[in-house]
Amino acid sequence: MEPWIRTLFDEDVLADAGACFGAKKTELSLVGGFENFIYGFDREGESFIIRIAHTSHRTIQDTLSELDFVNHLAMHGAPVSKPVLSVDGHFVEPVLAKDGSYFVVSCYHKAKGERPTRSHLNPEFLFNYGKTIGTFHHLTTHYQPSFSIQPRFSWDQDPLLVHAKTYLTDRDLIIYERFIETMKGIQELPKNNHNYGLIHTDVHMGNFFIQNNELTVFDFDDCATMHFVSDIAIALFYYVVFMKADDAEKKEKADFFMTHFMKGYLTQYPLSKSDYLEIPRFLKLRKLVLYIVFHRSSDLTTDAFARHYVEIHRDLIIKDLPVIDLDFEKYYT
């Protein structure tokens, strides 16, 4: 999140955001958030999450289209965290900031269970992980925005990608060139209703809770129309990239992950083999996107985690090395 947005977020904004959904400021507890401010509160034995985003990140219409999609998934039984109406009966509420701009506020039922860790990565969990994403892809092929809801933006219209060059320094012009090359390659891929549609785009283990190996997914803030295989790539990317292991161990664990994940996915959605085999291209895109995100939203002089990622992956991006060297065809069975 840009520093200037943090300066706009004050106690008045927090109090007004909570009031929209019937919560006092004293009842709100900070949960976290990287691109948004995330707070939790309890009422009558149930827990809720409030998300507060500056309108420069997501507009009211962006958020309404996001929640329309989430409600579509929920209506058809998909395991998602459902949005909650405000005290005035709206899914999205604007809150005025001190400079005259707005924050966009929405509220959700808190997902049941706990945040998964690597200790949860057993075959049943990975099967259900893939199954859940496959369910989303099946349901998105039948999705049509509700009346008055604007269609969600396509992946390459995301402001982060549109303005990517402004977040990088002259030192990283070669990174930007790699980014544009990757973008163009994906833009030229065939698109149809069976391989491209509105998807989560960020289903990593920080964006769902688990209970008895079953997932409940939340944070559809980045949902966009995109190639379905991107969701598969995202799941694998975040599993592999931050693993503390040598290349041989990473490959072994990635093989285990993909074996069980794809078994679950293919029970729900028959993504074509040719579309699925584009996964290395989407792994590369995510590596580049995260590099840009850290330059935009983190202070690399003080954020050791972000700085480490940038230092490690800059050379890998320049040399065009793969995120992970796997025989992806073997998992399509």
Q: Which domains does the chain have, with CATH numbers?
A: 3-109 (3.30.200.20), 118-331 (3.90.1200.10)
Kindly tell me the burial class for residue 192, based on how many C-beta atoms sit within 10 Å of its own C-beta (0-12, 13-18, 19 or more).
exposed
Spatial distance between the Cα atoms of 69 and 59, rounded to a whole number of angstroms = 16
Angle, CA 230 vertex, CA 229 and CA 233 arms, to 5°? 90
Helix (H, G, I), strand (E, B) or coil at 39: strand
Spatial distance between the Cα atoms of 80 and 219, rounded to a whole number of angstroms = 9
What are 78's two structure tokens? Answer: 């998909």
Kindly tell me the burial class for residue 233, based on how many C-beta atoms sit within 10 Å of its own C-beta (0-12, 13-18, 19 or more).
buried
What burial letters (b/e) apply to 12-34, b meaning 16+ CB within 10 Å? ebbebbbbbbebeeeebeeeeee
List % helix, strand, coil for the chain (3-state, nearest 5). Answer: 50, 15, 35
Torsional sign, CA 81, 149, 106, 306: positive
Q: What are phi and psi of 261, to 5 degrees?
A: -60, -50
Spatial distance between the Cα atoms of 88 and 10, rounded to a whole number of angstroms = 23
Torsional sign, CA 98, 150, 203, 311: negative
Task: Please list the residues that pair with 38 across neighbouring strands.
Answer: 32, 51
| pLDDT tens-digit profile, the chain (333 residues) | 788 899 999 999 999 999 999 999 999 999 987 889 999 999 999 999 999 999 999 999 999 999 999 999 999 999 999 999 999 999 999 999 999 999 999 999 999 999 999 889 999 999 999 999 999 999 999 999 999 999 999 999 999 999 999 999 999 999 999 999 999 999 999 999 999 999 999 999 999 999 999 999 999 999 999 999 999 999 999 999 999 899 999 999 999 999 999 999 999 999 999 999 999 999 999 999 999 999 998 999 999 999 999 999 999 999 999 999 999 999 998
Query: 291 and 160 in contact (C-beta within 8 Å)?
Result: no
Query: 245 and 225 in contact (C-beta within 8 Å)?
Result: no
Helix (H, G, I), strand (E, B) or coil at 246: coil
**Residues near 100 by Cβ (< 8 Å), separated by ≥ 6?**
none
